[in-house]
Chain A
Amino acid sequence: MSLAARQALLAEFMDDEAVERAVREDPDVVARERGVDANFARWLAALEPRRVTSFRRSRAVKDRRRRGG
């Protein structure tokens, strides 16, 4: 499994709710398409939504801070 592919999937999962939906619907299909280990895709698919929401909120706060807001 390529580290670059695994990181790309995690980043896109956090950045794009459509990617999150696709992973949650069928992680094995996404894993095959993206060339990542199925266990990693299943871990992403099983992530509690509140953890994903916390990450996105924290990301938004840090982004605001970087922009001086």
Chain B
Amino acid sequence: MQRVAVGLSLREPWLDDLETLPDRGGFEVLEVMVDDYLCDHGPRRRVRRLGTRWVLVAHGVALGIGDAAGVDEAYVRDVHAALRALAARWWSDHLAFLRAGGVDLGHFAPVGDDDETMQTLRRNATAATRGAPCPLLLENASDVLGLGADGPDAGAKLGRGYRRALEIADAGSLLDLTNLWIDSQNGGWDPRAWLDAIPLERVVQVHLAGGRRARGLWIDSHDRAIHDEALALLAELAPRAPNLRAVTLEWDEDIPPLAAVREELSRATAVLAEAGRR
């Protein structure tokens, strides 16, 4: 199977170091927060220049593909323009809803797998991808509320819901293995049953990160080293996901120096090598 690239979700504190690295630094992909670069200004051009050395992929947090009220068409147009400017290979956002009842949650709220939700996903995905310069991936957002996560077969049931959403939206998968592991721990279900239920051929990218535990619940805080359990899931996934192209590391709080995250990323690289994907 094809070699899998590794990379980082770009954070501003690393920009200077990235620009002065003598080579690619042992990774091939930079994931860019597209919402930070919707305007054609200096920072976007600076990131675009990084694209001469690294493959750029885009990640968003504001689409709200599950919103019953629909997606914001002006936002979608701005994202598409940014994707073109960055020459992004693909674009991802979260399988979640963000806005309802006059409330902008600004955080990913869970969608179910009922027919009305699926019709909404189909309609919103069509609006989001019409005229898009690259494919859309949908990420399994972490759900601390645990919608649908009850019963002994919750892992398989939630996995089937993710499958149905990807198929009806005709989207690829950005599979966040840390979110998967965290949700399975909080819900007491089997992450492997979830993996067995999803369309592995749709997995294009994997996210890894580290979360923290508070009041007995794990949250996806992105401020720790990658969980060993998430790497174990990557070891199982890599030989089974033929279209997997990139594994990227996210770090959002207490951001360490670039050298430290490169070291952390090397753990994922080793897992991929062991699986024959590097």
Q: Does A9 contact B107, Cβ atoms closer than 8 Å?
A: no
Q: Given the known A-B contacts A7-B100, A10-B100, A47-B145, are A53 and B105 also in contact in the complex, defined by CB atoms under 8 Å?
A: no
Contact of B47 with A by CB under 8 A: no
Q: Does A51 contact B146, Cβ atoms closer than 8 Å?
A: yes
The answer, among B109, B146, B214, B253, for a CB contact under 8 Å with A7, is B109
Q: Is chain B's interface secondary structure helix, strand, loop, or mixed overall? A: loop
Contact of B120 with A by CB under 8 A: yes
Chain B, residue nearest A10 (CB): B109
Chain A, residue nearest B150 (CB): A43
Q: Does B103 contact A15, Cβ atoms closer than 8 Å?
A: yes
CB-CB < 8 A to B120: which residues of A? 3
Contact of A38 with B by CB under 8 A: no
Q: Does B252 contact A12, Cβ atoms closer than 8 Å?
A: no
Q: Does A59 contact B100, Cβ atoms closer than 8 Å?
A: no
Q: Does A51 contact B103, Cβ atoms closer than 8 Å?
A: no
The answer, among A2, A12, A15, A51, for a CB contact under 8 Å with B145, is A51
CB-CB < 8 A to B243: which residues of A? none
Once bound together, how far apart are the Cα atoms of A59 and B150, in whole Å? 23
Once bound together, how far apart are the Cα atoms of A29 and B106, in whole Å? 28
Q: Does A51 contact B217, Cβ atoms closer than 8 Å?
A: yes
Query: By the criterion of a CB under 8 Å from any partner CB, how many residues of chain A are at the interface?
Result: 28
Once bound together, how far apart are the Cα atoms of A23 and B116, in whole Å? 23
Once bound together, how far apart are the Cα atoms of A51 and B143, in whole Å? 10
CB-CB < 8 A to B109: which residues of A? 7, 10-11, 14
Contact of B91 with A by CB under 8 A: no
Query: By the criterion of a CB under 8 Å from any partner CB, how many residues of chain B are at the interface?
Result: 32
Contact of B189 with A by CB under 8 A: no
Chain A, residue nearest B107 (CB): A59
Q: A4-B69, A55-B107, A62-B106 are in contact. List 17 more A-B contacts (CB 8 A).
A: A3-B114, A7-B67, A10-B100, A14-B103, A14-B105, A15-B105, A43-B147, A50-B215, A50-B217, A51-B144, A51-B145, A51-B217, A54-B144, A54-B217, A55-B145, A58-B219, A63-B107
Q: List 23 A-B contacts (CB under 8 A).
A: A3-B114, A3-B116, A3-B120, A4-B69, A7-B67, A7-B97, A11-B99, A11-B100, A11-B101, A11-B105, A11-B109, A12-B101, A12-B103, A14-B105, A50-B217, A54-B217, A58-B107, A58-B220, A61-B253, A62-B106, A62-B107, A63-B106, A66-B61
Give me the interface of B with A, judged by CB distance under 8 Å.
61, 66-69, 97, 99-103, 105-107, 109, 114, 116-117, 120, 144-147, 214-217, 219-221, 252-253
